[in-house]
Structure 1
Amino acid sequence: MRKKLQNITNKLIPIGAILLVIGIWAFICAEDIVPAFMLPSPNDVVRAFIGDFALLMKHASVTLVEAFWGLVVGIAIGFVVSILMDQFNFAYRGFYPLVVITQTIPTIAIAPLLVLWMG
């Protein structure tokens, strides 16, 4: 019984938090605390999602295809570089500092630069 109650509580707390955030969002929009062009109401967002669903799915499919090919190219380049680093000492000495640098920079720090460079 206690485990079942804990299981229900574990599910209700996140749902309650989401509903609270949506409620605060709706209140902010209803009271015009933030202009509608900056923060549309939850109803407007749902209506726009339903009305523009086909367009959103078209763009989502393009994004997924681009992400897939980016992953494939990244894996291929990483595989080739790792083989080169394993087989040739000069490649190891050349690429290793770059590998270390790329692993120490947080993704969120370089994300704006990647957007600027790649669009």
Structure 2
Amino acid sequence: FARIEQWTMTKTKFEAMEILNKDDIPCGPILSMKEIAEDQSLRATGTVVEVDHPTRGKYVSVGNPIKLSDSPSDVTRSPLLGEHTDEILRQVLGFTDHQVADIHDSGALDPPRKQAAE
């Protein structure tokens, strides 16, 4: 291990991989998070995707690992807290606009109040 470590310290991970692969020695680089996020081949295959978020801005995320030629999928952001509440109240639960307004006015949809510990 000491000799291998001594040899690998003189090479980049990609140089070592190229040299070893020529002799059919299985190896691969351990990529940093920065290298993974910036790797164009991972982006091209959808393994790593960029997602746009309204409060967070753009961020890098893992793409869908399942790739089906006839069923492509998009990775999207998760919803914000309460983002679809009105839609669910109206379309799923069947509340009228007036009932939804009453629910809002009642405070039932307000975030919970944090209480100080005693």
Interval containing the TM-score (normalised by the shorter chain): under 0.3
For CA contacts below 8 A with separation 6 or more, give which structure has more relative contact order.
2
> Normalized against structure 2, the TM-score is what?
0.24
Q: Which has the higher strand share?
A: 2
Task: Give the number of the structure whose alpha-carbon radius of gyration is greater.
Answer: 2
